[in-house]
Structure 1
Amino acid sequence: MRADARPVSRSLWRDRDFLIFWCAQTLSVAGDSFALIAVPLLILDVTGSVAQMGLLTGVSGAASVAAGVFAGVLADRFDRRRLLIACDVIRLLLYVAIPVAWTFGQHVWLLYAVLPLAAAVGMVFQVTYVAAVRGLAGEKRVTEANSMLYATAAAAGILGPTLAGVVSGHLGPTAAIAINAASFGLSALGVLLTHASRYAVETVEPVEPTPGRRPWRELLAGAEFLLRHPVLRTLTILLSFFIFMTLGLTDIVIYRLKHDLGQPDSVVGVVLGVGAVGTMAGSALVARMRRMLGFGPLWIGAQIVSGLAILSLGLAGSVWGVAAIMALYLACVSLAGINSMSLRQQVTPPHLLGRVTSAFWTIHFSLGPVGAAALGWGAARYGATTVFVVAGASCLLLALIALATPVRQRHPEKT
């Protein structure tokens, strides 16, 4: 039985497997928020270089892009439940290596070895995760499921950055990284407690390659679907340039708070925690706003406000001003991101969902590593304000371009 055929009337609030998965992923995201702050702080504490922060983000992004080429095939060919658990266990071991090694001295080289590999495994997890959500929730409830997952993850992200700042300030960034490692164990346990059948129902192609079909055709199947679909094709191109200008944005915000405004680690955590309120608000509202406005107006509107928010970061001169703008920016990123991801899940054939997701993220993030490194270099050379202004203006331009494309449609899922 396909996941899509599950009765639509069944509430996600009464679905045991989805609720377990939901809780486990929320706890995992709370742990991730520790690493989001702790890793840049660790680099900044050891090297004092914002360029190094951007370079590490860029290298990790490049590893994600490389893994994305194969992640979709793995998600479509293998048991998604086992794949999710394996990814969590591997990341647990990788992140644990950092605080263990740091007890014997500072080893910056280890970060360049561990974090890109963790990012690559994380890409496989994320691609499989997107495919699994459709199986757990069903096509008709996928936007609602994404809204619930991202809203509570954002709620966990409010407390997470604050605690991460406190932990980093008192015990050091490596302690916060250790907490992130533990969160992967909780995620693996949650997936283990759900029924395996909820992950396998959408795998309709045989594990063995089709006779006469070349392996590289399997890798390109997702990209071919994206290119044939007018809305997904345009979204992929626009979002690739968007990630170029925004992947390293958190590093620049941290640099501004620490370098320009002279704030301690604990304040950095509080600011990003306040920003996570915006993610929670956007996630909670996306399903309702999608029904009210339709896909195109919601996506383009969120992108316009995102660009304005980034521009404003260059003008904000106080900690609370940065925090408020970050909340607005992350709310819009959440609205646009969940909106576009739900559309891909709705219009993609089940057996292609892993490869389409993989192809999208590989293309989407292909410019991100270069952008992250460029933002770090730009902040070091010209200052954070200049970087924010350029990035914000570029995002506004992308939103205006979208108005002249099929992305503006209200209901592309029905065409």
Structure 2
Amino acid sequence: MVMESRSLWRNRDFTIFWFAQTLSVAGDSFSYVALPLLVLHATGSVTQMGLLTGVAAAGSIIAGIFAGVVADRVRRRTLLIVCDVARFILYASIPVVWWFSPQIWLLYVVVPLAAAFAMVFRVGYVAAVPYLVGADKITEANGRLSGTYAAAWVGGPMLAGIISGVFGPTAAVAIDASTFAVSAIGLSFIRPRTRPSEAPSRVSARDFFIGAQFLWKHPVLRSLTVLLAFLAFLTTGLTDIYVFYVGHHLNQPDRTVGYVLAAGAVGTIIAAVLVSYARRALGFGACWIGSYALSGFAIACVGLSTSVPVIAGLVTVVVFGTSMAGICSLSLRQEVTPDHLLGRVTSAFWTIHMSLGPIGAAVLTVGVARYGVRALLLAAGTICVLIAVAASLTPIRQARPEAAPAMGD
């Protein structure tokens, strides 16, 4: 891992990486709105929306089994470029096919494959950031990336809603596809570096379990992984519920759905600005636990409101809390994990904590169809708060877990 400390503004490779990924995420925000709208327009079924989300999450989980091994074995820049090119091809196929005739089955092929490449990309991306910046800049770099990503998400969903309303959701998906191509070009300008490799040269079955073993041995990471699995069950399908609630239950147009999701992204911007200060002042445990308690309360309140501005404000609070906790969790893993294990630890973490996500997305959306939005969001929010309370009884409550003695390999 690169250990020098210098201003991120003077770090050429990080700046290119930052720009390319912000652009790519801006495109992602289009599909974030457009794909649920494609399903909603074609089927009118919240259950179908939840099923597609569940299939996508399953694709991520399967890819996560081997993503870490790949990220620790190949040049991470090359890996990121390949993933971007693959997602460009996959997402570009949707508007091409839709031009002739809508084919819902295509979404069930493209979306999980794209999610699998996205998982590999995310693992490589997380493993690359500590090598691009100094060790003491990791939280700042993650905050900056998250902040600009969120800024892209503010305008992206609004534009996606407008474009979907005028030209159809496939136009928004086409824009997303093009941003992956531009991101791949941008990444090609990062100077390749040779990083030290302490892992064995021969890949063995044990490689797939090394990351999980590291997580299990670290008390804070172990607790985070277990609790986040239950939180993923509760939150993976939330976007589908928001889209269904605003677009169908409240009978609002596509652009209003985009405004609500864009307002939520403001929460990430606020979290990105505050996270490094909050973590220094309050400590890791207080930030993580308080953030999820706040998010759970806001989730419960969404189901109690029929006012679009109030719902948008509550979604902003939800995203603020999950983003604050997420940046803290991500930074901690990067700080305590050796570079040559970071890919495997990251993929193990995401694979395990996302394992209940597909089931949760299906259960929540089926529950909405049967019991209504209010009952499901009240239940989900209440359980989130209870999980945050449970975290206060685990090693997560520590203020400075990154300062603990380094673990052996």
TM-score grouping bracket, smaller chain normalisation: over 0.9
Task: Return the letter of the residue paired with 1:205.
Answer: A
Query: What corresponds to 1:241 in structure 2?
Result: 230
Mapped partners of 2:34, 2:252: distance in 1 = 15
Matched length: 404
- Judge conservation of contact 1:54–1:251 (CA < 8 Å) in 2: yes
- Alpha-carbon offset, residue 191 of structure 1: 1.0
Query: What corresponds to 2:8 in structure 1?
Result: 12
The DSSP-based 3-state class of the residue aligned with 1:330 is helix
- Alpha-carbon offset, residue 206 of structure 1: 4.9
Query: What corresponds to 1:65 in structure 2?
Result: 61
Q: 1:202 to 1:240 in 2, by over 3 A?
A: farther
Which among 143, 154, 160 is matched to residue 147 of structure 1? Answer: 143
Output one character per residue of 1:235-271: Cα deviation in whole Å (capped at 9) or x when no partner: 0000000010000001001100012211000111111
Deviates more, 1:226-235 or 1:200-209: 200-209
Mapped partners of 1:134, 1:24: distance in 2 = 17
Output one character per residue of 1:136-157: Cα deviation in whole Å (capped at 9) or x when no partner: 1122111000000000110011
Which among 263, 267, 278 is matched to residue 278 of structure 1? Answer: 267
Mapped partners of 1:255, 1:121: distance in 2 = 27
Query: What corresponds to 1:3 in structure 2?
Result: 2
Which among 26, 34, 38 is matched to residue 38 of structure 1? Answer: 34
- Alpha-carbon offset, residue 205 of structure 1: 2.7
- Alpha-carbon offset, residue 361 of structure 1: 0.3
Mapped partners of 2:342, 2:355: distance in 1 = 20
Query: What corresponds to 1:159 in structure 2?
Result: 155
Output one character per residue of 1:161-218: Cα deviation in whole Å (capped at 9) or x when no partner: 0000000000000000000001111211121111111xx4254335434xxxxx1111
Query: What corresponds to 1:222 in structure 2?
Result: 211
Mapped partners of 1:205, 1:216: distance in 2 = 14
- Judge conservation of contact 1:78–1:207 (CA < 8 Å) in 2: no
1:205 aligned to 2:199?
Answer: yes
- Judge conservation of contact 1:222–1:359 (CA < 8 Å) in 2: yes
Task: Return the letter of the residue paired with 2:369.
Answer: A
- Judge conservation of contact 1:77–1:206 (CA < 8 Å) in 2: no
Mapped partners of 1:152, 1:43: distance in 2 = 29
Mapped partners of 2:41, 2:134: distance in 1 = 46
- Alpha-carbon offset, residue 346 of structure 1: 0.3
The Cα RMSD (Å) is 0.9
1:380 aligned to 2:369?
Answer: yes
Task: Return the letter of the residue paired with 1:208.
Answer: R
Query: What corresponds to 2:105 in structure 1?
Result: 109
Query: What corresponds to 1:212 in structure 2?
Result: none
- Judge conservation of contact 1:135–1:202 (CA < 8 Å) in 2: no
- Judge conservation of contact 1:55–1:372 (CA < 8 Å) in 2: yes
The DSSP-based 3-state class of the residue aligned with 2:100 is coil
Which among 123, 126, 133 is matched to residue 127 of structure 1? Answer: 123
Query: What corresponds to 1:358 in structure 2?
Result: 347
Structure 1 runs of 4+ off > 2 angstroms? 202-209
Mapped partners of 1:258, 1:156: distance in 2 = 22
Output one character per residue of 1:276-333: Cα deviation in whole Å (capped at 9) or x when no partner: 1111111111111111111001100001101101011111111001100011110111
Which among 362, 380, 385 is matched to residue 396 of structure 1? Answer: 385
Query: What corresponds to 1:195 in structure 2?
Result: 191
- Judge conservation of contact 1:169–1:265 (CA < 8 Å) in 2: yes
Query: What corresponds to 2:240 in structure 1?
Result: 251
Normalising by structure 1, we get a TM-score of 0.96
Query: What corresponds to 2:314 in structure 1?
Result: 325
User: Structure 2, unaligned stretches of length 5 or more?
Assistant: 405-409
Matches within 5 A, 1:302-317: 302-317=291-306
Task: Return the letter of the residue paired with 2:260.
Answer: V
Task: Return the letter of the residue paired with 1:262.
Answer: N
Task: Return the letter of the residue paired with 2:287.
Answer: L
Mapped partners of 2:348, 2:239: distance in 1 = 25
The DSSP-based 3-state class of the residue aligned with 1:376 is helix
- Judge conservation of contact 1:91–1:118 (CA < 8 Å) in 2: yes
Q: 1:53 to 1:202 in 2, by over 3 A?
A: farther
Query: What corresponds to 1:56 in structure 2?
Result: 52
Mapped partners of 2:375, 2:50: distance in 1 = 16
Mapped partners of 1:240, 1:192: distance in 2 = 35
Mapped partners of 2:306, 2:389: distance in 1 = 28
Mapped partners of 2:40, 2:151: distance in 1 = 27
Identity of aligned residues (%): 55
The DSSP-based 3-state class of the residue aligned with 1:3 is coil
The DSSP-based 3-state class of the residue aligned with 1:185 is helix
Q: 1:33 to 1:203 in 2, by over 3 A?
A: farther
User: Structure 1, unaligned stretches of length 5 or more?
Assistant: 210-214
- Judge conservation of contact 1:3–1:202 (CA < 8 Å) in 2: no
Normalising by structure 2, we get a TM-score of 0.98
Mapped partners of 1:204, 1:292: distance in 2 = 35
